[in-house]
Chains A and B, each alone.
Chain A
């Protein structure tokens, strides 16, 4: 072994973010120009996002959850305090990032010719880890 890196996932690719949200059971709305988020009373907010989970897919008192692309092209989650309190918190975002990173990695590896060797889910005290192995041509 010669190199070891630790990284933090950045949500930068619309395609894999949408796929990850779908895998978690949502049907996100995508609009490159951005659309306003809607609050729990049906009020349109000033804040806009490019990827939106409409509140009807969440709790009856939920607000829309949005992912807005910032200047450097990273999607930032916009989640109300109420929705954070009912489970759309950092742990939820972490699981979303996990699915996103796996999908992005698989697609990149296939496109660049890495040889897929296997996938394993490892249970650790800190939660489940997805391990992917690739060979290099």
Chain B
């Protein structure tokens, strides 16, 4: 299983970006919240792995 890693990059202009690697599904939201703190979110993107669990769940529901 891929190790879960958080990478935060902080620039000189008061902005930062947060990359959550190795997470699947919505489990990364709590981690994102920790690193976001009270900062304002400018944009959020979900990457491919985020949809793995969601898709599987949807297919399971369709079979029922």
Inter-chain contact count A-B, CB under 8 Å? 153
| Closest A residue to B28 using CB positions | A3
Interface SS majority for chain B = mixed
Interface residues of A in 89-105 (CB under 8 A from B): 90-91, 93-95, 97-98, 101-102, 104-105
Interface SS majority for chain A = mixed
Query: How many of A's residues come within 8 Å of B, CB to CB?
Result: 42
- A109: chain B residues within 8 A (beta carbon): 34-35
- B5: chain A residues within 8 A (beta carbon): 117, 133-136
CB of A107, distance to nearest CB on chain B (Å): 10
Please determine whether B4 and A4 come into contact, CB atoms closer than 8 angstroms: no
Interface string of A1-39 (1 = CB under 8 A from B): 111111111101000000000000000000000000000
- B32: chain A residues within 8 A (beta carbon): 3, 5
